[in-house]
Amino acid sequence: MSLLNFGHAYNALYEAQKERLWQPSLGQKVQDLVGQRLGVYGYGSIGRQAARVAKAMGMDVIAYTASPRDTPEKRKDTGFIVPGTGDPDGSIPSEWYSGTDKASLHHFLGRDIDVLLVGVPLTAATRHVLSTEEFDVLSKKRAFVANVARGPVIDSAALKKALEEGKLRGAALDVTEPEPLPKDNPLWEAPNTFISPHVSGNSNDYAKRAFQVFELNLERKARGEPLINVIDRKKGY
């Protein structure tokens, strides 16, 4: 939604509306998503749903995961799936990349990405994993960065600097470091940036779905089957 607002100059249109100004010229530089490339960094349930929506809008999608997903079986989503959502069989990405080292990540980021969706869990390995070097790689296409993971995955100072220098064309941050973001934090002043208070995943059906996962796991346990949506404490997620 933030990307669409950004591409369609929503903020400028809204300001014009408040002033009762009819300004069709604001719609002359609309950025169409068709043909743009979405890089999904962390292809979990959120990343898969974002990929589904992006594909429907004509975008090309590529994915990055920590472990290789080099077979159709490994690309399947084994977690809880709301019917009609996500990418259950992992067929949406046109390209898959993986790794836990900087070189592998930079190779992925350098694949002509127009929009980067950050959806990785926060671990010791991913803290500030996106910083100056990574934004320099993304500057090849002046990517738009959206973070729906955790704030500390991104080095906020480096992000603000990249935005100010025009290396990135914009950002949508549903998570920040710290949270709540203090009023005097410089990130509020970053250009072309939309900040929301960690609410992008909220839904009036959230509790119902949580109980559905619980119910499914009770049934699976009764049948002696592995549980779904299990946290691996060694991995940290």
Strands (E), 73-209: 95-98, 115-118, 144-147, 170-173, 193-195
- Tell whether the model's pLDDT for residue 1 goes beyond 90: no
> Is it true that domain 33-202 has CATH number 3.30.830.10?
no
Average pLDDT for 131-156: 99
Q: Domain limits of the chain?
A: 1-31, 33-202
Average pLDDT for 171-195: 98
CA nearest to 53, candidates 141, 169, 121, 146: 146
**pLDDT for the residue numbered 193:** 97
8 Å CB contact between 100 and 127: no
8 Å CB contact between 141 and 111: no
Question: What does R_g of the chain's alpha carbons equal in angstroms?
Answer: 19
- Tell whether the model's pLDDT for residue 136 goes beyond 90: yes
Give the chain's mean pLDDT. Answer: 97
**pLDDT for the residue numbered 29:** 84
Average pLDDT for 76-82: 97
69/63 Cα distance (integer angstroms): 10
- Tell whether the model's pLDDT for residue 194 goes beyond 90: yes
Query: Could you tell me which residues are beta bridge partners of residue 117?
Result: 40, 146
The arrangement of strands across the sheet holding 193-195 comes to 95-98, 60-65, 37-41, 115-118, 144-147, 170-173, 193-195
Phi, psi of 205 (to 5 degrees): -105, 10
Q: Letter for the amino acid at 200? A: S
8 Å CB contact between 193 and 186: no
4/23 Cα distance (integer angstroms): 19
209 is catalytic: no
**pLDDT for the residue numbered 89:** 98
CA nearest to 146, candidates 157, 130, 161: 130
CA nearest to 121, candidates 199, 209, 47, 200: 47
| Catalytic option among 52, 106, 111, 198 | 198
Which of 71-80, 179-188, 227-236 has the least mean pLDDT?
227-236
150 is catalytic: yes
Strands 95-98 and 115-118: unpaired
8 Å CB contact between 117 and 148: yes
Q: pLDDT for 20-66, tens place per residue?
A: 999 999 999 888 899 999 999 999 999 999 999 999 999 999 999 99
**Please, which pLDDT band fits residue 155 given cuts at 50, 70 and 90?**
very high
107 is catalytic: no
- Tell whether the model's pLDDT for residue 10 goes beyond 90: yes
| Catalytic option among 37, 48, 69, 150 | 150
Average pLDDT for 167-179: 98
| Catalytic option among 179, 189, 215, 225 | 179
Q: pLDDT for 96-114, tens place per residue?
A: 999 999 999 999 999 999 9
CA nearest to 197, candidates 209, 178, 216, 180: 180
8 Å CB contact between 147 and 121: no
Q: pLDDT for 196-211, tens place per residue?
A: 999 999 999 999 999 9
